[in-house]
Amino acid sequence: MQCTKSVYPFHDGKYEDFEPIFKHLIENEINDGTSIEYTQAFFPIAEELTSKGDEAMQAGDSTTASDLYLRACTVYRIARFPYITAYPEISCPVKWRAWEAQKEVYMKAGRSWAEPVEEVIVPHIHRAGRDRESIPVYVRVPAATAENGTPCPVVVLMTGLDGYRPDNTVRCNEFLDRGWGSVVVEIPGTADCPADSADPESPDRLWSSLLDWMQHIGIFDMTHVMVWGLSSGGYYAIRIAHTHKERLIGSIAQGAGCHHFFDPEWLDFADGHEYPFQLTPAMAMKHGYDSVEDYKDGVQKKFSLLETGVIQKPSCRLLLINVSNLVYLMDKFTLLIRLGDS
């Protein structure tokens, strides 16, 4: 069981925190992860862990406090599953409460680290149409950069459908161990992302604003900017490799699809496999559709990177990663090998 091993999506957590929650859900026959009752079941444990973290921090034990805060964050993460967005409006106020609490507790932990997390609100200077004004990101840089301003290479980590900025501590630690900074950002249609989720070109404006800001602040080596897109973020890693190729040293697309994943027949099949919730309602909302039916009817023509001509263009170096998976097909491999130059 993933929870007993503290692996995705339970990373940073402990089974002992979830056991009483799972017991409550089972005893009360709460089986719908989208329900308010599901989310509310997680709050008492998360709040208790946060209070214990506060006590440890006040006692001067920042290591124990950080561990407790991250455990609380994990509980809040599962509480807000399977999906949240604030665009064009908050999808669920109760799950949004869990999201806001997760961010608050995460920063309590992140500020105490030797290479701390900084939340930055980046101006969305290239916004257009219904895009919103600012891009929230989490930034971490190596100690040498923080101390003397030496520019560091940087990974722009694009998050997925359900994993957001506070869910990437281990990855960012690994980047730091190798001398790379990180900028963690959410993708259109999820969490706090300001991009118009219904506009297939909104991510291009989003990344232009982000990269311009990174250039402006002067702490990143802009000749060594790498993108890593996770799960649904892999779609955007493929897209940015083509739309912003001159500004990247390379891009990694881990998971996601770029064309066949949007086939109506495949979407009919995708629900009920590895993803532990219904996938298509979240994907429909993420892409700005009011219903699953409208999403299946229109998404491929509108968002496919093949249909829109994106992957027929030159790209930067692009690494494609996938595993045996019945949700995210390996269609991008064959398409990009056939059409791409990266």
Which residue ranges make up each domain of the chain? Answer: 1-82, 113-339
CA-nearest of 210, 177, 176 to 193 is 210
pLDDT of residue 118: 98
Structural contact between residues 230 and 159, judged by C-beta atoms closer than 8 angstroms: yes
pLDDT of residue 293: 96
Q: Of all helices (H) and strands (E), which one includes residue 101?
A: helix 93-110
As its CATH architecture, domain 113-339 has: 3-Layer(aba) Sandwich (3.40)
Average pLDDT per run of 10 along the chain, which is 342 residues long?
64 87 96 94 98 99 98 97 95 98 99 98 99 99 96 98 96 98 99 98 99 98 98 96 98 88 85 72 96 96 96 94 59 62 55
pLDDT of residue 277: 76
Coil/strand/helix, residue 161: coil
Give the side-chain half-sphere CA count within 13 A for 100.
8
pLDDT of residue 265: 86
pLDDT of residue 7: 66
pLDDT of residue 327: 46
